[in-house]
Structure 1
Amino acid sequence: MSAMETNLSDLLNKPKVTLAALRGARRIRLRRRDDEDLVLTTAARADQDSAVLGATSRMFVEMMRTSQGRTLVLDVLPATFPWVRYLPAPDVREFSVELVGALGAAVDLDSTAAVAQLLTEWKHTAEVHADPELYAALTADSDEDYGPVPEPGAAA
């Protein structure tokens, strides 16, 4: 996929030149000094991307409704997500079911945020299973109570 990178200030200072470059690039990544980068694309291209994602997700969800589709998905998950090899078999099945649900919802919501979060969470779960010492530490029974956990962002 063709992408161009430039500074946001280039778009602000030379908008015609910067936008003309978009004709040859699928998208422009606008780097910002003190904030998250932005991506600029045409509405037609964004609509195409959304249509492709929606069609792919719907096809995947429908495929998972068949036993052959579920078997195929379980066979290809390790190639698609190499970290899935560290998950126990029941977790791999649970991951595939949750992924299908999240993809179906992403189409309806027109948002991939939940899918990205699900992938991150399962990848971290696989990281725990891949590290025997970490797994042992997190699954060990302990009679020690460290008290209540403060809310995220609260002062300790």
Structure 2
Amino acid sequence: MSAEPASANFSELVNKNKQTLARLKESHRLLLHRRDGEDLVLTTAARAEQDQTVVSAATRMLAAIARREPGSMELLLDVLPEAFPWVRFLPEQDVHGFAVELVDTMRAADSVSNSASVAQLLIAWQHTAEVYSDPDLLAALTRDHDADYGPVPNPAADA
């Protein structure tokens, strides 16, 4: 079994479905490239269920560890820079806020079997760290702006 998914053009799946699906059997995932849309990943229902089971178990374990002992949050805070190196740019109170929000969002996302909110949370916090990593950008975004540039036009009016 390969770590990388097999790859094919979507048209190959349509035109040569048996040969293309044989690649899925070998690697358990098939990356389908589409000309007019986002690429797709094809997998078996059993593999998708296994993946969800693993993610759910890891989420539940992390949440249980984070809630269990007073020192467990400190442990989580200690390992965050290894998992997410960009947290080093966040102020200390924001690292704690990120850890709490990450665990809470992972638990909530697991309860509805949809990880999109976790991905969005990670992206948002990483962008926040990027702002803190750039002193000029941080100054520009945190500076008080006394100027009033007037009313903002309705974007729908331009359409």
Q: Which TM bucket (shorter chain)?
A: over 0.9
1:47 Cα deviation from its structure 2 partner: 0.3
Matched, 1:69 2:63: no
CA shift, 1:68, in A, is: 2.4
The separation in 2 between residues aligned to 1:149 and 1:59, in whole angstroms, is 47
Indicate the percent of aligned positions where both proteins have the same amino acid: 54
1:7-156 matches, cutoff 5 A? 7-65=9-67, 66-149=69-152, 155=158
Name the TM-score, length of structure 1 as normaliser: 0.94
Q: Is the 8 A contact 1:73 1:96 kept in 2?
A: yes
Higher mean alpha-carbon deviation, 39-48 vs 64-73, is at 64-73
Counterparts in 2 of 1:11 and 1:151: CA distance versus 1, 3 Å: farther
Tell me, in whole angstroms, the C-alpha distance in 2 between the residues paired with 1:28 and 1:150: 46
CA gap of 1:5–1:154, structure 2 versus 1, over 3 A, is: farther
Cα distance in structure 2, aligned partners of 1:154 and 1:36: 31
**Deviation of the 1:150 alpha carbon:** 5.8
Q: How far does the alpha carbon of each residue in 1:104-132 deviate from its partner, in whole angstroms, 9 at most, with x for none?
A: 01110100000000000000000000000
Rate the CA distance shift 1:118–1:9 in 2: closer, same or farther, 3 A: same
Unaligned runs of 5+ in 2: none
TM-score, structure 2 as length reference:
0.92
Aligned-CA RMSD value: 1.7
> Which structure has greater helix proportion?
2
In the alignment of these two chains, the number of paired residues is 156
Gaps of 5+ in 1: none
